[in-house]
Amino acid sequence: MDRYGELRSAIRAITPVDEREAQSIRATLDRLDWPANPYDERLKDHHVTASAFVVSARGVILHRHKRLGIWVQPGGHIDYDESAPLAALRETYEETGLPVRHLEPPLLFHVDVHPGPRGHTHYDLRYVLVSPPQEPSPLAGESRQVYWFSFEGAQERCEKSLAPALAKLGQWYAHSDVKDYEP
The residue extents of the domains of the chain are 5-175
Q: Are 74 and 92 in contact (CB under 8 A)?
A: yes
Write the pLDDT tens digit of every residue in 4-30: 889 999 999 999 999 999 999 999 999
> Quick one: fold of 5-175?
Nucleoside Triphosphate Pyrophosphohydrolase (3.90.79)
What is the reported pTM? 0.94
Q: How many CA atoms lie within 13 A of 125 on its CB side?
A: 30
Rounded Cα gap, residues 123 and 20, in angstroms: 12
Between CA 18 and CA 65 the distance in angstroms is 24
Nearest to 50 by CA among 24, 76, 28: 76
- ∠92-6-37 over CA atoms, to 5°? 70
pLDDT tens column, 29-78: 999 998 888 888 887 788 899 999 999 999 999 999 888 889 999 999 99
